[in-house]
Chain A
Amino acid sequence: MTTSNPPVPVAPTAETGTPKRPRKLTKAEQRAIEAKTRLTSPWATGIALVMAFLWTVPTFGLLITSIRPQASIQNSGWWTWFTNPEFTLANYETVLTGSSTAFATYFVNTLVITIPAVVIPITIALLAAYAFSWIEFRGRDLLFVAVFALQIVPLQVTLIPLLTIYVDVGLAGSFWTVWLSHSIFALPLAIFMFHNFMKDIPRSLVEAARVDGAGHVRIFFRVLLPLLTPAIAAFTVFQFLWVWNDLLVALTFAGGTPNVAPLTVRLAELSGSRGQDWHLLSAGAFVALVVPVAIFLFGQRYFVRGLLAGGVKG
């Protein structure tokens, strides 16, 4: 986003450093573009509103449910809350303090699991996607299709073969297994998505950099990476969510002991050995939801801003 692009003969479609364009659009001009690119009929607005409403209602119901007392949840719909408001934090209290292990422990574990499990696969996938898009080597397309097809392998078939290897090398029960597994499982989709974004980058940009004497490494960092910011940000959010919400991988490879167990292990226990306690599940779901949504909103702002700036700032 703040790169000094190589002085390239810019193709008309390239968005960086077009000389005829002003460095920054004025507010008025931006608004003009916005107005024209949008579908501005009342119908459009209506549809968007209806969709947003429909998509939010189930989650909203969950939120209301989580602050209602247990007995009410079983006997009346959450919408009756509007006519008969009741409020309790007891559900949240149970979720946060009802375990013998401090809630913070699980939170830290989740964090420790998530950050490397997001950084590692995205880095590796970016490199691989670059090679599949811009480095010519024999068997490249075949290899790429193979990687792509690996998306269909269900995670569950990997559990026993992978765990066997982890046990053999003495890593079972540690964070390493979780980092490694999450990284591996994310790769096919990540490579596929990044590849698709990368190969659409105008050839002229890459060629120009080459003419300028840049090797693959420099092209990767200087030319492609900045243009991929939105795709990276989007995928980061998804990978973050998958890891954050994962129960199976952590449980299988690291086990459910408080030393390594993530938040989801605690949340899965919430409804007790036999019950399905609505009041706890709803509160638990909300606790789990807070961080991912914050990350999403933050990531949103980041990549929208990164894009609108369009690499011009540098």
Chain B
Amino acid sequence: MSVRGRSKTTALTSVVALSLLLAACGGDDTSGESDGETTGSEGTAGSSEIDCSLYEQFGDLSGTSVSTYASIVTPESEAYEAAFVPFEDCTGVDVRGEWSKEFEAQIVVRVQSGNPPDIALFPQPGLLQTVVNDTGKVLPVFPETEAVVDENFSEDWKAYGTVNGTYYGFPNSSNSKSFVWYSPGAFADAGYEVPETWEDLLALSDQIVADNPDGDVKPWCAGISSGDATGWPVTDWIEDKMLRDQGAEYYDQWVAHEVPFNAPESVEVWDAVGSILRNEDYVNGGFGNVQTIASTTFQDGGLPILDGACYMYKMASFYAANWPEGTTVAEDGDVFAFYFPANEGADEKPVLVGSEFIAAFDDRPEVRAFTTYLASADYANLRAKEGFGFVSANQNLDVANVESPISKLAAEQFQDPAALIRFDGADLMPGEVGSGAFWREATAWIAEGKDTKAVLDAIESSWP
């Protein structure tokens, strides 16, 4: 049984738990729940907190192991391992995590070579789609697991994990991209209000420009550099704006390429985004001119907010982890985020989301049991308690368990029946576009000031 990824004291607890469990198992196989009660101590996730009976249908699993592969690395991975422990305590399955930043390139190599993990946590559905189509080695979600998914996730989320009509993956951690980061203190000092509509947002930007005539402080900062994924933050801007200006129906058609990428509607949306990102008056606080957006990493992009060089930075909820140590992320703290506003008079609140997806490569009872656990509300709640900005689209996630305020906000968005949730379109488009031409051309759009129509034509022509 695994004791990786936890402090010494928790490891010890788990060892004690293990020996108790083994002792108990020797006598009676069905006594899983009562063993669990002895382990839950000091808020450590113990098996008492989860419903072990869910896994009895898979038979006696003790002594088996499940290998898990993900793009998450330490220290975040330790939160995952901690959240796996109650399942391990329940079933006796040893979950072996392998955590690597090289996941994206490696997973395809491993699957093609016949060496896949039992379970993989795909960082985006696009990659899952690729692996399904190119290798044919991904297994459909197990029926036991799907039953649990149906209890916990809305129908939309099932669609994102479906490839060619078969349901392959269900969401793990999700994030909301419709956020604009700001400093509540700086806003208060300057007397600015959080804007409620797109028009307010532009008015606020103009106000900031007017209040800082020497141009040293800008309303916006931005950064889209991200190694060989440079350009992706622009696609979030476009998608968010597309959803707001053209509506969800058009958005779906756009993602599915039922409307051309270079349609006039798209040009309007890009120009609207360009009115901020390509506006020398608005950007790029703390870094320089528009061009610097392309040379600034998205990780660094929002940092000038801290020293007052810019006021706003549009970035997903996971950016909470990027602030330097000691920065308080809260409504009354150093930084916080507001909802990227919809247009005036809009009656919907569109939310753009991204998510990791869990899929399996091997069919064994312990793998079935583990995916079932990962789909459960127990897991979502336990994992949320471990922090690192985790938030799940699981409808039965108790928002109180979510650690960071910004993730709470995201969780509320996910569970809000009025919210109009749409998935990150670039992740759903074919790789040639979604992680190819779209990023590349968006980068040229910013860095070289390439004409909007030319950019859209180039992306359109890259569609396979």
Contacts and interface: CB of A to CB of B under 8 A. Distances in A.
Interface of A: 70-71, 74-75, 98-101, 159-160, 163-164, 166-168, 172-173, 247-248, 251-252, 255-258, 265, 268-269, 272-276
The 4 closest A-B pairs by CB, nearest first: A163-B113, A269-B73, A100-B5, A164-B113
Contacts of B110: 163, 252
Interface stretch (B101-109, B334-342, B445-453): B101-109
B100 A251 contact: yes
Contacts of A70: 324-325
Contacts of B4: 100-101, 258
Contact of A159 (B75, B109, B299, B300): B109
Contact of B112 (A160, A168, A247, A255): A160
Contacts of A159: 109, 113
A166 B115 CA distance: 9
Interface in B197-253: none
Contacts of A168: 114
Nearest to B319: A274
Contacts of B98: 255-257
Contacts of B5: 100
B303 interface: yes
A100 B75 CA distance: 8
A164 B135 CA distance: 14
Nearest to A278: B300
B307 to A, nearest CB: 7
Interface in B74-117: 74-76, 78, 81, 96, 98-102, 106, 109-110, 112-115
B420 interface: no
A64 to B, nearest CB: 19
A276 B223 CA distance: 13
A274 B321 contact: yes
Contacts of B112: 160, 164
A213 B73 CA distance: 62
Contacts of A269: 73-74, 99-101
Interface in B111-162: 112-115
A273 B102 contact: no
Contacts of B114: 164, 167-168
A74 B297 contact: no
30 contacts: A70-B324, A70-B325, A71-B324, A74-B324, A98-B75, A159-B109, A160-B109, A163-B109, A163-B113, A163-B115, A166-B113, A166-B115, A167-B115, A247-B102, A248-B102, A252-B110, A256-B99, A257-B96, A257-B98, A265-B100, A268-B73, A268-B100, A268-B102, A269-B73, A269-B99, A272-B321, A273-B71, A273-B321, A276-B297, A276-B299
Contacts of A258: 4
B72 interface: yes
Contacts of B299: 274-276
